């Protein structure tokens, strides 16, 4: 079964907790704090495996979890770091954030590894909090939580030349003739459901990868039929081989077929019409093929057309030479939008992104307030609140972040309830 799109929930490992410990040895006076740090949580890593051709292994794996870090130990010893979770995917896989659509990783090279979710940092033991004022701290940090997000994993076939055209125009037959690929071919009218890849050897020694892509229909760029699933696999191709049935054996007009397919390519988001296109006039052995070819050349005089009959491998050698020549001069087309492509022409793309506020004060009414913010919530989750020293340290941290002043400016009164991560505190002015 060919699977080219799955949704996953990934969660990196939590950092291990730091511990409170003191050195107690017979002949060591005032041994002092010796609590060790927690280990870092494991990352969720995607790695390219050329032996895989589908995302079937991930279809039933709804969650991907990395190992948590170990807690710190006595004598200032670190806890063990969690093992990374390695997820093997086919070459050509793209990972996106399911909520924002932001591209996280584009896996195109053999053995390439990308961190999708980073593990949390281990908490510090009480040894780190020793000072001249507090020589025996009873405080340590909890480990930071690992990143957690929903992702969309897509496979976009990695091929140099992509075959496009209506169903049953001879694309699968062409691939089977010029390579050792064996796609399903039938005498009745049907379409390929999954893309097939084949290595094509040109007589002069050059070679390239050709993909037999599923047949398109009118409206495919708007998602009709399986349009987006089909067009997705053309995005990486550098050269498009447009196969047209000049025999018109099923009653379609070759000129109309050519116009419709090009419209679908033009309407798709990744500028497919900018790729060089080779037009292959197929099934020239049929009765009305010559007449239709004459009409086609009159309608499109500037289009170079190669006459072929793929079923008997006639006229294919010039097509292969032309494709190999175009591949030598055609660069890769990045999978980004227009602005990003222009900005990256000279190097790295830098964008101004305003820094997110450390916290936000929300008035819930009836004397209730809520504090939200990534930095605040992260700090709260790493803070132990087991004794008075823990609470005092966290209160000082909040005061340093400016939370006390922000609450007063917002109108928070003495005795109001302030909620942080579903934990309620009483505000004392």
Does 54 appear as a known binding residue? Answer: no
Number of domain units in the chain = 3
b vs e for 14-42, b when ≥16 Cβ sit within 10 Å of the residue's Cβ? bbbbbbbbbeeeeeeeeeebbbbbbbbbb
Q: Is the dihedral of CA 324, 325, 331, 337 positive or negative?
A: negative
Does 172 appear as a known binding residue? Answer: yes
Task: Supply the Cα-derived Rg of the chain in whole angstroms.
Answer: 31
Does 190 appear as a known binding residue? Answer: yes
Tokens 């006229």 belong to residue: 315
Output the pLDDT for position 220.
Answer: 45
DSSP annotation of 314 reads B
Q: Domain residues for 387?
A: 360-426
Spatial CB neighbours of 329, under 8 Å, sequence gap ≥ 6: none
Q: Checking DSSP bridges between strand 161-164 and strand 239-245, what pairing results, if any?
A: parallel
Please indicate, yes or no, whether residues 27 and 147 belong to a single structural domain of this protein.
yes
For residue 116, give the nearest of 215, 228, 13, 269 by alpha carbon: 13
Please indicate, yes or no, whether residues 264 and 318 belong to a single structural domain of this protein.
yes
Does 167 appear as a known binding residue? Answer: yes
Q: Is the dihedral of CA 10, 118, 81, 31 positive or negative?
A: negative
The DSSP result for 365-408, as a single string, is ETTEEEEE-HHHHHHHHTB--SSHHHHHHHHHHHHHHTHHHHHH
Q: Quote the pTM value.
A: 0.69
Please indicate, yes or no, whether residues 136 and 42 belong to a single structural domain of this protein.
yes
Does 311 appear as a known binding residue? Answer: yes
b vs e for 144-156, b when ≥16 Cβ sit within 10 Å of the residue's Cβ? bbbbebebbbbbb
Residues in the chain: 429
The number of CA neighbours under 13 Å toward the Cβ of 150 is 7
Please indicate, yes or no, whether residues 165 and 310 belong to a single structural domain of this protein.
yes
Does 168 appear as a known binding residue? Answer: yes
Does 194 appear as a known binding residue? Answer: yes
Output the pLDDT for position 352.
Answer: 54
Does 2 appear as a known binding residue? Answer: no
Does 230 appear as a known binding residue? Answer: no
CA dihedral 361, 363, 364, 369 (to 10 degrees): 50
Q: Which of 155, 174, 192 is the last residue of a domain?
A: 155
Does 247 appear as a known binding residue? Answer: no
Query: Cβ(180)–Cβ(229) under 8 Å?
Result: no
Q: Which of 100, 135, 155 is the last residue of a domain?
A: 155
Identify the segments of the chain with pLDDT beneath 70. Answer: 1-3, 181-194, 214-233, 269-270, 334-356
Output the pLDDT for position 116.
Answer: 94
Please indicate, yes or no, whether residues 9 and 141 belong to a single structural domain of this protein.
yes
């Amino acid at each position: 079964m060919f699977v080219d799109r799955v949704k996953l929930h990934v969660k990196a490992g939590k950092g291990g907790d730091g511990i409170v410990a003191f050195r107690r040895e017979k002949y060591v006076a005032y041994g002092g704090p010796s609590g060790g740090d927690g280990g870092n949580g494991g990352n969720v890593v995607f790695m390219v495996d050329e032996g895989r051709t589908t995302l079937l292994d991930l279809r039933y794996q709804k969650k991907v979890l990395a190992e948590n870090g170990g807690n710190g130990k006595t004598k200032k010893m670190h806890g063990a770091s969690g093992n990374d979770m390695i997820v093997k995917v086919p070459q050509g896989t793209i990972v996106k954030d399911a909520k924002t659509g932001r591209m996280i990783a584009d896996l195109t090279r053999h053995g390439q590894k990308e961190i999708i979710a980073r593990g949390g940092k281990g908490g510090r033991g009480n040894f780190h909090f020793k000072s001249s004022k507090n020589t025996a701290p009873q405080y340590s940090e909890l480990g930071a939580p690992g990143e957690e997000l929903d992702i969309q994993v897509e496979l976009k076939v990695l091929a140099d030349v992509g075959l496009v055209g209506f169903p049953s125009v001879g694309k699968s037959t062409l691939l089977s003739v010029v390579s050792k690929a064996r796609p399903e071919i039938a005498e009745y009218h049907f379409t390929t459901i999954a893309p097939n890849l084949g290595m094509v050897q040109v007589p002069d020694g050059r070679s390239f990868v050709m993909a037999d892509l599923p047949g398109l229909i009118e409206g495919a760029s708007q998602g009709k039929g399986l349009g987006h699933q089909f067009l997705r696999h053309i995005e990486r191709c550098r050269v498009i081989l447009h196969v047209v049935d000049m025999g018109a054996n099923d009653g379609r007009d070759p000129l109309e077929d050519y116009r419709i397919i090009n419209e679908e390519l033009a309407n798709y988001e990744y500028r497919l019409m900018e790729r060089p296109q080779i037009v292959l006039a197929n099934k020239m052995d049929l009765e009305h093929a010559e007449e239709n070819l004459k009409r086609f050349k009159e309608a499109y005089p500037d289009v170079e057309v190669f006459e072929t009959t793929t079923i008997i491998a006639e006229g294919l050698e010039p097509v292969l030479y032309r494709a190999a020549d175009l591949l030598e001069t055609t660069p890769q087309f990045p999978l980004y939008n227009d602005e990003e492509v222009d900005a990256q022409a000279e190097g790295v793309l830098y964008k101004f992104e305003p820094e997110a506020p450390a916290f936000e004060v929300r008035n819930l009414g009836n004397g209730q307030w809520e504090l939200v913010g990534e930095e605040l919530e992260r700090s709260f989750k790493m803070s132990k609140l087991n004794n008075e020293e823990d609470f005092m340290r966290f209160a000082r941290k909040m005061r340093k972040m400016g939370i006390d002043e922000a609450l007063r400016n917002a109108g928070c009164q003495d005795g109001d309830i302030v909620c942080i991560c579903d934990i309620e505190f009483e505000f004392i002015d």
